[in-house]
Amino acid sequence: MIRFLNASVVYPGGVQGLKNLTLDIPDGQMMVIVGLSGAGKSTLIRAINGLVPLTSGDVLINDVSLRGASQKQLREIRSRIGMIFQTFNLVKRTTVLNNVLMGRLHDAGTGRSLVGWYRPADVEIAMQSLERVGIVEKAYVRASNLSGGQQQRVGIARALAQQPTILLADEPVASLDPPTSHVVMRDLQRINRDLGITTIINLHFLDLAKVYGERIIGLRAGELVYDGTGARADETVFRDIYGRSLTADDVMGQEAPAAIPG
């Protein structure tokens, strides 16, 4: 269970990232966060794995407080939280497999990871993660030679290789075209259901949020302004969250295709 207790983040320079956020996220939930750029979505996600430290308040992961944690403890906690990024953040010059093995860094230890002699068990986990997202045949291909959708799947595999209990996704489909976006979102949904991993996703396409969000959180200027199901979230709700009327940019506008393209 992830708990935010009156959490606030103020960036140097005075910008308020989060304001008195109190929130509980039960295990296994699929939660979508919506809000304008700068509303605090990225801040909230990064507060969960400590990449952004809180200025006040606390965030607890399974009753372990992040604020008091040492660097070592923080790394331990992070190793159980997978993260995928809008720009995929793969190491372009190396193979897909090496990228996925980055998910095993913490468990493999400094010595082994330094020379790249991973244990067979670690390589097996990496391979299985690649199989789960369906691109194991690309294991030895250079990461830069893949399409956007494939690169994001490698990112998901990297996160899965950590064998995480929580999965964070910061605008995972913003750089992808609509059909690929649906594929990725479906993969995330399937992972959430099959493996029971708590999944928290930032989206800025509201129609996607409605379709895939079991629970939707709306942020405005760092504050929680909406907390409800995907079904209940309609146009008025979104307009409330955004504080303005919706535009064409706010929806992806393409239905999930019935037959999934390759």
Partner 1 sequence: MSASPAPDPSVRPLPPARRAKLIASLALAALIVWSLVTVGIEFDRILDLPRGLAHIFNRMFLENGPEWSFFPDAVGGMVESLQIAWVGTIIGAVLSLPMGLLGAKNVTGGVGSNVMRQVLNAIRAVPEVLLAVIIFIPIVGIGGTASAYAGTLAIGVHSIGTLGKLTAEVVEGIDPGPVEAARAVGGSPAQVQRWGVLPQVMPEIVAFWLYRFEINIRASAILGVVGAGGVGEALQQAMVFGRLERAGIIIIVIIVATILIDTASAWLRRRIIEGSGARRAMGDELAEPSLAGTGAARIDTDAG
Partner 2 sequence: MTAATIGQARGRPTRPRRSPWSLVGIGAFLAITWWAASREFGIGFDLVSVFTNLTRGASILAEFFPPNWAYLPRTFEPMLETFQMAVVASALGCGLALPVSFLASRVSTPNFPVLFANRTALNVVRALPDLLYALIFVAAVGIGPLPGILALIFFNIGVTAKLMSETVDGVDPGPIEAANAAGGNRTQVVRWAILPQVLPNYVAYSLYVFELNIRASAVLGIVGAGGIGNNINTARKFFQYDNLSVILIEIFVFVFVIELVSIWLRRRLV
In terms of Cα–Cα distance, which of 200, 210, 194 is closest to 252?
A: 210
Secondary structure (DSSP) of 74-99? HHHHHHTEEEE-TT----TTSBHHHH
What is the enclosing helix (H) or strand (E) of 24?
Answer: strand 16-25
Interface with partner 1 includes 128 (CB under 8 A)? yes
In the shown chain, the binding pattern of residues 76 to 95 toward partner 2, with x for contact by CB under 8 A and - for none, equals xxxxxxxx-x-xxxxxxxx-
Query: Which range of residues in 13-21, 63-71, 131-139, 242-250 is near partner 1 by CB under 8 A?
Result: 131-139
The dihedral formed by the CA atoms of 54, 59, 65 and 66, expressed in degrees to the nearest 10: -40
Min. distance of Cβ 14 from partner 2 in angstroms?
22
For partner 1, the closer of residues 137 and 227 by Cβ is 137
For partner 1, the closer of residues 140 and 249 by Cβ is 140
Work out the burial of residue 45: count CB atoms within 10 Å of its CB; fewer than 13 is exposed, 13-18 middle, 19 or more buried. Answer: buried
Min. distance of Cβ 175 from partner 2 in angstroms?
12
For partner 2, the closer of residues 92 and 232 by Cβ is 92
Distance from C-alpha of 107 to C-alpha of 259, rounded to nearest angstrom: 39
DSSP helix/strand/coil, 72: helix
Question: Could you list the residues that contact partner 1 (CB under 8 A)?
Answer: 127-128, 131-140, 183, 186-187, 190-191, 194, 260, 262
Question: Could you list the residues that contact partner 2 (CB under 8 A)?
Answer: 49, 51, 75-83, 85, 87-94, 98, 102-103, 105-106, 110, 113-114, 155, 158-159, 162, 168
